[in-house]
Chain A
Amino acid sequence: AQTVTQSQPEMSVQEAETVTLSCTYDTSESNYYLFWYKQPPSRQMILVIRQEAYKQQNATENRFSVNFQKAAKSFSLKISDSQLGDTAMYFCAFIPGGTSYGKLTFGQGTILTVHP
């Protein structure tokens, strides 16, 4: 069984600053995918960034980047130049590879507030 742990229930940051959200996971799988999802008050779960476990290079999407440490089973999200629209609940999620569908395992989430 897989577990995903987000140890920061809430975080806050000033607009334009950088913030890092932590995530650790536990699995015996060798092939898997990791995700960060954002859920603003509008409720829709939005994919922020995806990392494939077999890729050494850390994924980057504009202001969002990850620090993927496979040996340490760590997958943190860095948000640069924070914007008010980044205020949301952020979920780290895991899914094993090798199948065409599967169960996303979510962490407990981190509520991020960006202050003006």
Chain B
Amino acid sequence: DTEVTQTPKHLVMGMTNKKSLKCEQHMGHRAMYWYKQKAKKPPELMFVYSYEKLSINESVPSRFSPECPNSSLLNLHLHALQPEDSALYLCASSQDVEGYTFGSGTRLTVV
């Protein structure tokens, strides 16, 4: 299995809602990442987990809360988001810096 699977593919949520994005990989990769991508822009790193521990937080607002329950699973919990948080959220994994595998993303719309 050489895939990173993200669910859901699309999500519409209100500003008072709580929702979660899910990312799963079964390649044995020990690092997992959340990126945020606006249309026609490069992805921006949000969080990095290495060996299930949060290693990098790129000063992301607390309304985004990552969680890594095990080495295969990465969640992003969302609460009280703003319309400007609407974007494509990409998950990725890597075993080392030689190559990352990305999921196909969750398209999030905050209304």
Chain A nearest CB from B73 CB (Å) reads: 17
A interface residue count range (under 10 / 10 to 19 / 20 to 34 / 35 or more) = 20 to 34
Is there a chain A Cβ closer than 8 Å to B60's Cβ?
no
**B50 proximity list for chain A (CB < 8 A):** 100-101
B interface residue count range (under 10 / 10 to 19 / 20 to 34 / 35 or more) = 20 to 34
Q: Are A111 and B40 in contact (CB under 8 A)?
A: yes
Q: Which of A37, A45, A52, A101 has the most CB of B within 10 A?
A: A101
Is there a chain B Cβ closer than 8 Å to A44's Cβ?
yes
Residue of B nearest to A96 (CB): B97
**A109 proximity list for chain B (CB < 8 A):** 40-42
- Known: A100-B50, A101-B50, A109-B41. Is A44-B103 also a contact (CB below 8 A)? yes
Q: Are A108 and B41 in contact (CB under 8 A)?
A: yes
Is there a chain B Cβ closer than 8 Å to A102's Cβ?
yes
7 more contacts with CB within 8 A, not counting A101-B50, A109-B41, are: A42-B104, A45-B43, A45-B102, A91-B42, A97-B97, A104-B43, A108-B42
